[in-house]
Structure 1
């Protein structure tokens, strides 16, 4: 699946873990005139209850797209009181300042790839959202005029992230190559890989 707006193109690969109908990962992205936001949530465990928790987080983000990454994480955390819990990654791009902000609690990762192929991986904050106060940091960095950003859940392995096809500028080719790379493998976790192409 792929969509292209004004500044950003997105392609997504998602697959439930072996034996599960429901994928416990949920995602959302949208582009406005001034910004782009993408969120990926992974409910703890697997199956229907994991999906419920991750979808609660995504619904909060859909309803509050114009607030900061920090506020989005706090609002999501409040809504998970009494639920199973979820890990979350939120990416925001500001087209005017040409900066992106990212925060992750748990094992949602972000890999940035510049035009010359230089990779940088953000380290998530430990833990998960479950209604309790949790310290976290938001990383802000410069958007290159052209770059790829890869968001991923814990079903994506370090070996997957070392593959050369991630350097492809075409996000559809990235997700298609990833699908071929994992084809036939038994995945122990729900797997979501979101390939994002930014061009100013």
Structure 2
């Protein structure tokens, strides 16, 4: 398998975590977003949206990280990253969507580049923008996670799920954008635990081969 991604891309990061948790081997092919390589026609033949990640598995070409994670779960069901019951799967998907639909897209690179270059927003205002939406999303997520008294050290249950694959990259992004994480002790505790596990450590942005060269 070949995974096209960028070291600091949150969607690439969550996909790496999921693949590592599944114990899958893959070739990592860097697409430098800082140099707009995702907009090159050669890459757009893989994904016309010009977005990472893209996963190539034999004759199957996969795009959009939520769909990639679902495909991984169906094709490589062990170890599972979704609970066995319908209610549990709904909970994990809902937690994932809180991050993947309502926090991450507002703060991803192309939005921030539009703010900087098209609307002439300065860097301090960009940080303020990111802080606002990450903090608002984390406040709701913290309440959900803290209210689940059956939860172990992860977002749901006692093993990693999709929700953890989504959460850890978003916490990294929050730290990058100087978000005060003090109000979110449950999120911080889950993040700290996950970062002790090899699958998460190996997926970290600075562990990727393109990290030293890209900005």
Q: Going by fraction, where is helix more abundant, 1 or 2?
A: 2
Larger radius of gyration: 2
Instruction: Report the TM-score, using the length of structure 1 for normalisation.
Output: 0.29
Q: TM-score, normalised by structure 2?
A: 0.28
The structure whose residues are more often strand, as a share, is 1
